[in-house]
Amino acid sequence: MSDTLTSLPAADGFRMPAEWEPHAGTWMIWPERPDNWREGAEPAQEAFVAVAGAIARFEPVTMLATARQWRHARAALPASVRVVEAASDDSWCRDSGATFVTDAAGRVRGVDWGFNAWGGLYAPCDQDELIAAKMLEIERTPRYAAPLILEGGSIHVDGQGTVLTTEECLLNPNRNPHLSREEIEQHLRDYLGISRVLWLGAGLVDDETSGHIDNLACFVRPGVVALTWCEDPLDPQYAISRDALERLSKATDARGRSIEVVKLPLPGPLFRTMEETIDLGPGSGTMSRGLGERLGASYANFYVGNGFVLMPLLDEAHDEEAAGILSRLFPDREVVGVPTREIILGGGNIHCITQQQPAGTPG
């Protein structure tokens, strides 16, 4: 196994860089789990191929695939995508994968967090618990083993000392019931190299991760946060988004800057079973309503890489508006949209299935 360090990243001069800083590449995990993906995971695999192919236009992509799926993944993916055999339980590389940290000399190391499948939501998860260590072994990258259950989708950093997260997730007793808020904050300082934690309250409505930040809000540059926004007072997301805005409007980051908030429209709402049309009677026309479980869909779940922003296409009524906002926020990057309904049906989106490895040299 790659070297396991007994020191702390922050004490060694390491920090988690912002997502928009230069990447060495992107990591993903091939989907196949039959109790999470429909129709033998084939529709989801097509969506993952689209995501990987879009990213591979801009930077290297590594796809981890189990032995029984390696040949299929290799045939389906572009030749430029590296496919590495590795056992896994599911395909949320943001959450089970390593969090990479860097120092001023350009060295790269990795943080291996504890993983319990979002508070025990899915079983088994013992192979996913090993994914971070396997990634670091493949890259010959030194490893920090963090004494904290944490998924990568629950944190977002500005690269300048600030981390954004939610109380719903990080303070949830299904993750680290033995740790206080202050102890969790100290672990974030020690392992991410940050000095300021910005706490939002609840996350996106019907997000089964218990409120991951990457479905609600994210830094787009230091001092600027994109926030999922809802205009419908009858929607439960309405109050959550307003509470987040109020907290952000009162906050300052690690360098004392006030937070500017840019609102991203809420798609849908979208439902697992699309819609039914209801006849309202003579002269009254019809109405449509969603059926079944509401999906945790958000435009905030985009991914930033070398020269690009990869955004989910979710709702024809709002896709163009969301793309325009992201184009203005990232004027020097190409905004690329990929249809991701099949990924949402599994419980996440583009940001959830990707994990960036920053540029640098292992050491």
Domain segments of the chain as ranges: 7-362
According to the model, what pLDDT value does residue 272 have? 87
User: What CA–CA distance (Å, rounded) separates 212 from 216?
Assistant: 7
- Please, which pLDDT band fits residue 278 given cuts at 50, 70 and 90? very low
- With a cut of 80, say whether residue 281 has pLDDT above it: no
According to the model, what pLDDT value does residue 291 have? 59
User: What CA–CA distance (Å, rounded) separates 37 from 44?
Assistant: 7
Looking up tokens 């993906």 gives: 37
User: What CA–CA distance (Å, rounded) separates 135 from 182?
Assistant: 30
Cα distances (angstroms) measured from residue 136 to each of 4, 80, 89, 128: 10, 21, 18, 14
Q: How is the beta sheet containing 23-29 ordered, strand by strand? A: 82-85, 61-65, 23-29, 355-358
3-state SS class at 327: helix
Contact 214, 352 (CB under 8 A): yes
The reported pTM is 0.94
User: What CA–CA distance (Å, rounded) separates 21 from 101?
Assistant: 12
User: What CA–CA distance (Å, rounded) separates 334 from 332?
Assistant: 7
Active site residue 169: no
Q: Annotated catalytic residue: which of 169, 218, 230, 352?
A: 352
- DSSP alpha helix (H) spans, 37-101: 42-56, 70-76, 93-96
Listed residue (140, 149, 130, 146) closest to 109, CA to CA:
140
Phi-psi region of 340 (alpha: psi -120 to 50; beta: other; left: phi over 0): alpha
Listed residue (153, 173, 180) closest to 164, CA to CA:
153
According to the model, what pLDDT value does residue 289 have? 47
What tokens does 237 get?
A: 């997301």
DSSP 206-255: T-TTTS-GGGTEEEEETTEEEEEE---TTSHHHHHHHHHHHHHHH-B-TT
Percentage of the residues of the chain whose pLDDT score is greater than 70: 94
Burial of 177 (0-12, 13-18, 19+ CB in 10 A): exposed
- With a cut of 90, say whether residue 76 has pLDDT above it: yes
According to the model, what pLDDT value does residue 330 have? 98
Looking up tokens 């129709």 gives: 39
- DSSP alpha helix (H) spans, 17-152: 42-56, 70-76, 93-96, 117-120, 131-138
Q: Write the CB contacts of 63 (distance below 8 Å, at least 6 apart in sequence).
A: 28, 29, 30, 48, 52, 73, 77, 81, 82, 83, 84
| 292 vs 82, residue with greater confidence | 82
According to the model, what pLDDT value does residue 274 have? 58
Q: What is the mean pLDDT of the chain?
A: 95
- DSSP alpha helix (H) spans, the chain: 42-56, 70-76, 93-96, 117-120, 131-138, 167-170, 181-192, 236-250, 319-329, 341-346
Looking up tokens 């190299």 gives: 193
CATH 3.75.10.10 fits 7-362, yes or no: yes
- Please, which pLDDT band fits residue 3 given cuts at 50, 70 and 90? confident
User: What CA–CA distance (Å, rounded) separates 356 from 142?
Assistant: 16
For residue 341, count other CB atoms closer than 10 A to its CB.
18
- Please, which pLDDT band fits residue 277 given cuts at 50, 70 and 90? very low
Angle at 87 between CA 83 and CA 92, to 5 degrees: 75
Beta bridge partner(s), residue 184: none
**Mean pLDDT, range 238-262, rounded to an integer:** 98
